[in-house]
Structure 1
Amino acid sequence: MESRISIITGASSGIGRAIAENLLMKGYGVVGNARNKVGLAALEAWSKNTPGTFIPVEGDVTKEETLTKLLSVCHDTFGRGPCIGVVNAGRGLPGSITGSDASKWEDMVNLNVLGAFRQLRILANAMTSNDEASGELASRDIVVIGSTIGTNVSPTNHVYGATKFAVHGATEALRRELGPKGVRVSLIQPGFVRTNFQEASGYDIEAFEKAVQEIGPLVEAKDVARTVEFIVDQPPHVHLHDIMLRSTRQSYP
């Protein structure tokens, strides 16, 4: 039986996949969600050679039924709910308030903000239920993947950064609510990370590569995954709740 059970959203690629791979290599059970069926299938195939168990759940995390399914799959497969939840699914959008594509604002806010809020609520309720919270103190972790531009205003990504400001505020509020109940809520704020995020979100790849030349080598997805691993491996009485993760040469944001 897997020692710990986790739910990871946005698990089909980038940071989410790297986190899933790390936890699978530790022998943890991982219920991974994404809308990318092909990416989930690739991760499932990869997981066959790990000591952990990966269960893919395709679906949109802005929908309550998808989140409910993630919990039910945990119980059906592993016999208990998650003790690790990674709120990772999100999308970017280049541009300022006046210059970005306003037709894409609603979808991004639905995923980055409302979707994150729903994930936080359902994970919090699951980890504080009588069934999951009973017995001796055990590590229960909700880890949110934020961004440095959720603390420092970005010169070029105003709307995307604003969604991260909202999530950071909600994360800190939940930390204060759940800490006394034994649940650790942690925020990781990565700076520039080399994944497929920039291309998928429509960023100027030429400008991104120029930035890489100036501040690289960049943080990679596996670096964020190691940080998640470090957080959840702390003894139950130790809580790392806010970590900013940049490449050494990135001065701002």
Structure 2
Amino acid sequence: MRKTAFITGATSGIGKATAEIFAAHKIRLILCGRRVERLESLQKKLSLLTEVTTLQFDVSKKDEVKNAIKSIPESFKNIDILINNAGNAHGLSSLQDGNLDDWDAMLDINVKGLLYVSKAIIPQMTARNSGFIVNIGSIAGKEVYPNGNVYCASKHAVNALNKAMRIDLNKHNIRVAAIHPGAVETEFSEVRFKGDTVKAAAVYSGYKALQAEDIADIIYFVISRPYHVNIEDLVVYPTAQASATIMNKTGY
């Protein structure tokens, strides 16, 4: 029987690339995001490869999460794989100069959104004593860098929740894993710098950053291991990056 995967933040970046590689391997897809046009376009494309349904909602709104998941078509109800990918960064400033709205956005989506979606889906996994949850973290969950304060805090929370899920769900035979990418060239920096494309482009200049497809390939590897294998915590850097603050920008 084909597996069914639920992917948040599926309309761009790592989420979209993961949907594409899952579709190529005939995994049935529940694609989630806020942008209807992008969801519809991706569904049309991937439906040529596998069965696809979409849910339009904001992970930070608990009632939207609850209602969206209740509305899943009956044939997609049994979710085997949850990819908690939705997340964002807003701003890059010292704590004392931070923007409260930016803080709320990061904590609401990166932490509370992951919790809301997981809470809605985990009960069916525990009832079946099977399932796989992959939480997309960041190297910001492993170390703190200048002006990263609240974003780093949110990703440290993802790291902690990943470990907590694995402990709590162990008795239910559910696999839990986290992948923590370094610099990935997506819309991430454009969002962080509020649409400033010049600043966003500078983040990825002078070296070869990771691509969304690189992380998607790793996600597929992780979820496709034999069931007794759980790759629980994986940090991925581009070759040019040694840490959150050390980058070899000499053209490689």
TM-score clears 0.5: yes
Within the candidate set 82, 91, 105, 1:85 is matched to 82
Shift of 1:73: 4.7
1:211/1:105 CA distance change after superposition, 3 Å: closer
Q: Which residue of 1 aligns with 2:204?
A: 212
Q: How does 1:8-87 map to 2 (within 5 A)?
A: 8-50=7-49, 52-74=50-72, 76-78=74-76, 80-87=77-84
Q: How does 1:187-206 map to 2 (within 5 A)?
A: 187-202=178-193, 205-206=197-198
Q: How does 1:1-253 map to 2 (within 5 A)?
A: 3-50=2-49, 52-74=50-72, 76-78=74-76, 80-93=77-90, 94-129=92-127, 132-133=128-129, 140-202=131-193, 205-214=197-206, 216-253=207-244
Q: Deviations over 1:48-68 (max 9, x none)?
A: 321x11111001112334333
Query: Aligned partners of 1:70, 1:224: CA distance in 2, in Å?
Result: 27
Question: What are the ranges of 5 or more consecutive residues in structure 2 without an aligned counterpart?
Answer: 245-252
Query: Aligned partners of 1:198, 1:210: CA distance in 2, in Å?
Result: 9
Query: Aligned partners of 1:186, 1:66: CA distance in 2, in Å?
Result: 26
Query: Aligned partners of 1:107, 1:148: CA distance in 2, in Å?
Result: 19
Q: Which residue of 1 aligns with 2:248?
A: none
Query: Aligned partners of 1:229, 1:30: CA distance in 2, in Å?
Result: 13
Query: Aligned partners of 2:79, 2:235: CA distance in 1, in Å?
Result: 25
Question: What are the ranges of 5 or more consecutive residues in structure 1 without an aligned counterpart?
Answer: none
Secondary structure of 1:244's counterpart equals strand
Q: TM-score, normalised by structure 1?
A: 0.88
Q: Is the 8 A contact 1:74 1:81 kept in 2?
A: no
Q: TM-score, normalised by structure 2?
A: 0.89
Query: Aligned partners of 1:95, 1:192: CA distance in 2, in Å?
Result: 18
Shift of 1:205: 4.5
AA at the equivalent of 1:226: D
Q: What CA RMSD, in Å, does the superposition of the two structures yield over aligned residues?
A: 1.9
Q: Percent identity?
A: 28
